Chain A
Amino acid sequence: MATAQGNDGAMMPNPMNQFEIQRYINWEIGGVDVSFTNSSLFMVLAVVVTSAFLIITMRGHQMVPGRLQSISELLYEFVRNMVRDSTGPKGEKYFPFIFSLFIFVLVINMLGMLPLGHYSFTPTSQIIVTFALAALVFVGVTLIGFWKHGIGYLKLFAPSGVPWYMLPIIIPIEIISYLTRPISLSVRLFANMMVGHTLLKVLGGFAGALGVAGIGPLLLMIPFTGLEILVAFLQAFVFAVLTSIYLNDALNMHDH
């Protein structure tokens, strides 16, 4: 259908267009651009969908849960066990934060898989969004570490059991690895989301451009879509697990 218009070659949609921010409502408060964009829309949707689902499915307070209530309970217990396993009892009070982080990323990733044409969007494929979340985790964890252990938190950079002559090498490595946490955390999620969506878009473009032969890329899209759904879940899980592990470092240092 693309070739029907005569512009051969240039007709495949740019697979990067899907990452562009579109301003639905332009707003500016105190010189700061707070426009309601497609990114905002999907973040709001994620909050609404998550809250509505978790609250409505639990409304019945059923002793024997139905299917939907089971999903809510499974999500809860899944994250709860993960937090408990990696941080121990001290991490209990940070559970709501890690749960929010997990469900926010998960639902945004999943909503991004909806085939909504031009309106499809995945905020987690925006580096600024993932970096902000990772920075929030990083700053929060660092503050908790210093708050719990004072200046002793710096001992995190000198693992116990390391011979003294190795310390000049180990300490810089530990510091660098600590400081790159927010970068690895944010880039991992961002890159996974972007690559998956780009790949699907490229395949989709081929499917459209090749006419009848487009059935090939179209069939290929089926397993890749399944894979992307898996990645969407996995990356949300990885984000939450790493947050729990960092939190564990701050709460228990090395004695865990």
Chain B
Amino acid sequence: MSQQVNVSKPGTPVTHASTQGAEHKGGLPQLNADDFAPQLVWLALTFGALYWIMARIALPRIADVLEKRRDHIATDIDAAHKFKKRSEEAEAAYKASLADAKAKAHTIAQDTRDKLNIKTDAKRADVDSQINAKLMDAEKRIKTAKKSALKEINVIATTTTKDIVEHLIGNKTSDKDLANALKSIATG
């Protein structure tokens, strides 16, 4: 196993031999002191390089991204708060104007209703008075008609009675007597 790769370069056979020796003695390969120096040197080189890369490049970049994200989230939350506040204000304003509009609409409706009421009342009064006037007129006419009719009835009655009396007793009666007689019947 170790032979395959150990043939890489000639020149330092000492370490090679001692590695094998340690194994054959049955000790831990890790305790072979000849292998310490190269491991320590390479450990120092690699760990030094890693520390430099981490401290200078890799970690600051990660920190940068994390910080930016934190800032971004913070500003987003701030903005969200602002928007929320604004929307609440808008809602309040909307409610206020809605209430205002409702009140206005109510007064307008009331006004209109009142005006219309006044107009209809006036018209109704007007129409009522016209109707009344017509009624009175009609009553008057009926009265006069009645009067004239009654007068004519008297005349007709007088002449009819006169005729009938003439026919019955063949005597002419004076208008005066006739009128008195009729009057006494009428009053009964």
Residues of A with Cβ closer than 8 Å to B?
A: 13-14, 16-17, 19-26, 28, 32-40, 43-44, 46-47, 50-51, 54-55, 58, 61-63, 65, 69, 72-73, 76-77, 95-97, 99-100, 103-104, 118, 123, 125-129, 132-133, 190, 194
Residues of B with Cβ closer than 8 Å to A?
A: 1-2, 4-6, 8-9, 11-12, 15-16, 19, 23, 28-32, 34-44, 46-47, 49-51, 53-55, 57-59, 61-66, 68-69, 72
Tell whether, in the assembled complex, residue A77 and residue B66 are in contact, meaning their CB atoms are under 8 Å apart. yes
Tell whether, in the assembled complex, residue B8 and residue A25 are in contact, meaning their CB atoms are under 8 Å apart. yes
CA distance A55 to B47 in the complex (A): 17
A-B contact pairs, 27 of them (CB 8 A): A14-B23, A17-B1, A20-B19, A21-B39, A22-B5, A22-B6, A23-B15, A24-B8, A28-B11, A34-B38, A35-B12, A36-B42, A37-B35, A37-B39, A38-B5, A39-B42, A44-B46, A46-B50, A47-B47, A47-B53, A61-B65, A63-B68, A72-B62, A76-B59, A126-B35, A128-B39, A132-B43
**Which residues of A sit under 8 angstroms from B35, Cβ to Cβ?**
21, 37, 39, 126, 128
CA distance A12 to B93 in the complex (A): 87
**Which residues of A sit under 8 angstroms from B39, Cβ to Cβ?**
21, 37, 39-40, 123, 126, 128-129, 132
Tell whether, in the assembled complex, residue A96 and residue B8 are in contact, meaning their CB atoms are under 8 Å apart. no
In angstroms, how far is the closest chain B Cβ from the Cβ of A117?
A: 9
In angstroms, how far is the closest chain B Cβ from the Cβ of A26?
A: 4
In angstroms, how far is the closest chain A Cβ from the Cβ of B148?
A: 112
Tell whether, in the assembled complex, residue B47 and residue A26 are in contact, meaning their CB atoms are under 8 Å apart. no
Tell whether, in the assembled complex, residue B43 and residue A35 are in contact, meaning their CB atoms are under 8 Å apart. no
**Which residues of A sit under 8 angstroms from B19, Cβ to Cβ?**
20-21
**Which residues of B sit under 8 angstroms from A99, Cβ to Cβ?**
54, 59
CA distance A118 to B5 in the complex (A): 10
A104-B12 in contact given A22-B6, A39-B42, A127-B31 (Cβ < 8 Å): no
- Cβ-neighbour of B43 out of A38, A96, A123 (below 8 A): A123
Tell whether, in the assembled complex, residue A39 and residue B58 are in contact, meaning their CB atoms are under 8 Å apart. no
- Cβ-neighbour of A100 out of B12, B38, B41, B47 (below 8 A): B47
Q: Which residue of A lies closest to B9 (CB)?
A: A26
* Interface SS of B by simple majority: helix
In angstroms, how far is the closest chain A Cβ from the Cβ of B103?
A: 50
**Which residues of A sit under 8 angstroms from B51, Cβ to Cβ?**
96-97, 100
- Cβ-neighbour of A73 out of B12, B32, B54, B66 (below 8 A): B66
**Which residues of A sit under 8 angstroms from B28, Cβ to Cβ?**
16, 19, 127
**Which residues of B sit under 8 angstroms from A43, Cβ to Cβ?**
42-43, 46-47
CA distance A32 to B45 in the complex (A): 14
CA distance A37 to B1 in the complex (A): 14
CA distance A111 to B47 in the complex (A): 16
**Which residues of A sit under 8 angstroms from B47, Cβ to Cβ?**
43, 47, 100, 104, 133
A26-B12 in contact given A17-B2, A20-B19 (Cβ < 8 Å): yes
CA distance A44 to B32 in the complex (A): 22
In angstroms, how far is the closest chain A Cβ from the Cβ of B8?
A: 5
